[in-house]
Amino acid sequence: MTATLQLALVLLAMGFSQGKQHNYLDQVDQLDAEAEIELSAGPSKFGSLWPLPQKVEISGVSFKLAGVSFKITDAKQSSAGQSCSLLQDAYRRYYDYLFAGAKRQEPGKGRQRLGGPAGLSELQVLITSPDSGCDGYPSVKSDESYELKVDQPYAVLKAPTVWGALHGLETFSQLVYEDEYGAKSINSTTISDFPRFAHRGILLDSSRHFLPIKVILANLETMAMNKFNVFHWHIVDDQSFPYMSRTFPQLSQQGAYHPYTHVYTPADVKMVIEFGRLRGIRVVPEFDTPGHTQSWGKGQPDLLTPCYSGSKPSGSFGPVNPILNTTYEFMTWFFKEISTVFPDAYVHLGGDEVDFSCWKSNPDIQKFMAEQGFGQDYSKLESFYIQKLLDIVATTQKGYMIWQEVFDNGVKLKPNTLIHVWKGNEQQYQSEMANVTASGFQTLLSTPWYLNRISYGQDWQGHYRADPQDFKGTEAQKKLVIGGEACLWGEYVDATNLTPRLWPRASAVAERLWSAKDVTDVNDAYNRLSVHRCRMVERGIPAQPLFSSYCPHEYKGI
Q: Which residues are catalytic?
A: 353
Beta-strand runs (E) in 107-225: 122-127, 146-150, 155-159, 177-178, 184-193, 199-205
Using the CB atoms, write b or e for 275-303: b if 16+ within 10 Å: bbbbbbbbbbbbbbbbbbbbbbbbbbeeb
- 3-state DSSP assignment of residue 313: strand
Quick one: 109 exposed, middle or buried, by C-beta within 10 A (0-12, 13-18, 19+)?
exposed
Q: Report H helices in 352-456.
A: 357-361, 363-372, 378-394, 404-408, 426-438
- 3-state DSSP assignment of residue 98: helix
For residue 548, CA distances in Å to 324, 506, 507, 544 come to 59, 19, 18, 11
Omega prior to 290 cis, within 30 of 0 = yes
Nearest Cα neighbor of 317 from 325, 328, 327, 305 is: 305
DSSP state of 298: H
Quick one: 9 exposed, middle or buried, by C-beta within 10 A (0-12, 13-18, 19+)?
exposed
Question: What are φ and ψ of residue 57, in 5° steps?
Answer: -130, 115
Helix (H) or strand (E) holding 535: helix 522-538
What does the alpha-carbon distance between residue 257 and residue 242 come to, in Å, rounded to a whole number?
Answer: 7
Beta-strand runs (E) in 133-279: 146-150, 155-159, 177-178, 184-193, 199-205, 230-234
What does the alpha-carbon distance between residue 40 and residue 43 come to, in Å, rounded to a whole number?
Answer: 10
